[in-house]
């Protein structure tokens, strides 16, 4: 790598540290000598960290595919494309679930093969395993990710997700709070993940605060969680009003579609949550 290219990459990383991700920027894709690949990586990340939607994650995907074509032995790039296909498998954006899961697993496995000590590779593997309901294996990977990258907010917030889904909400909440500390300018979806950990651990008012903040930053997101929380805590009028607001924003919402995105070890809790959504007036689907 030339001196000019090295200087460009160093400057770009420092700009990202200051403006975007904080200290965790130094822990990720900073080792390539290919400035063009790094630019595609950064462009993809700028979309990915805005919102978990088909449009935003879909916008990240081609940038990361171009970066990987330029730097095919990058564990980080393979891992992030694993995340893209994990979200597709969970929310049904492009491929059928089986195809999306196979793609997610292939990228995550490749990332681990390239660098067994890459935190993003272990995090990507953990969420893929979670969708396959292999919760113990998912926990092993996500806990290793946190050990490998203690300064990574993303590792912590996805640990929060996997821990809460594995019926360990107190440990999940601790990781979610740590993620917020590590990344004060965190993406909105951090709030939804932490709010769910709070709710499942019985910290209802803190969960409500997180879900309301999520909705404020990404309108419509967090409302289903608020409906569940209010319905289950006996605040039925508030639950009904928020259910109506949710349908005004997301007219295609059904409880059946919501259930299709839920991958939690405690299936009785998931069924109780679905019952709360139906009781508040949301269409069963």
Per-residue pLDDT tens over the stretch 147-157: 999 989 999 99
- The pTM of the full predicted model, rounded to 2 decimals, is 0.90
CB 185 within 8 A of CB 49: no
Summarised one tens digit per residue, pLDDT across range 86-99 is 999 999 999 999 99
Written as tens digits, the pLDDT of the chain (285 aa) is 444 444 444 445 554 544 445 545 544 665 456 788 888 888 888 888 888 899 999 999 999 999 999 999 999 999 999 999 999 999 999 999 999 999 999 999 999 999 999 999 999 999 999 999 999 999 999 999 999 999 899 999 999 999 999 999 999 999 999 999 998 889 899 999 999 999 999 999 999 999 999 999 999 999 999 999 999 999 999 999 999 999 999 999 999 999 999 999 999 999 999 999 999 999 999
Q: How far apart are CA 126 and CA 86, in angstroms?
A: 10
Distances (CA, A) of 189 to 103, 150, 156, 222: 23, 20, 13, 9
Domains of the chain by start residue, with CATH: 1-177 (1.25.40.10), 188-285 (1.25.40.10)
E strand or H helix that includes residue 175: helix 169-182
């Amino acid at each position: 790598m030339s001196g000019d290219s090295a200087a460009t990459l160093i400057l770009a990383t420092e700009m990202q540290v200051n403006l975007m991700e904080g200290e965790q920027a130094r822990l990720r894709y900073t080792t390539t000598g290919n400035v063009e690949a790094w630019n595609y990586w950064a462009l993809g990340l700028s979309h990915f960290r805005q919102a978990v939607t088909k449009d935003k994650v879909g916008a990240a995907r081609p940038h990361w595919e171009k970066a990987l074509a330029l730097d095919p032995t990058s564990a980080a790039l393979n891992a992030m494309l694993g995340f893209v296909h994990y979200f597709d498998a969970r929310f049904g954006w492009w491929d059928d679930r089986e195809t999306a899961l196979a793609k997610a697993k292939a990228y995550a496995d490749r990332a681990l093969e390239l660098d067994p000590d890459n935190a993003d590779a272990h995090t990507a593997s953990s969420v893929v395993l979670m969708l396959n309901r292999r919760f113990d294996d998912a926990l092993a990977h996500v806990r290793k990710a946190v050990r490998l990258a203690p300064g990574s907010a993303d590792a912590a917030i996805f640990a929060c997700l996997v821990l809460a889904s594995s019926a360990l909400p107190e440990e999940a909440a601790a990781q979610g709070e740590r993620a917020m500390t590590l990344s004060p300018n965190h993406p909105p979806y951090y709030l939804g993940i932490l709010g769910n950990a709070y709710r499942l651990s019985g910290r209802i008012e803190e969960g409500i605060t997180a879900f309301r903040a999520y909705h404020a930053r990404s309108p419509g997101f967090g409302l289903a969680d608020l409906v569940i929380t209010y319905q289950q805590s006996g605040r039925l009028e508030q639950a009904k009003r928020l259910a109506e607001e949710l349908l005004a924003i997301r007219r295609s919402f059904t409880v059946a579609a919501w259930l299709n995105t839920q991958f939690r070890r405690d299936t009785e809790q998931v069924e109780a949550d679905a019952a709360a959504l139906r009781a508040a007036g949301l269409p069963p689907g």
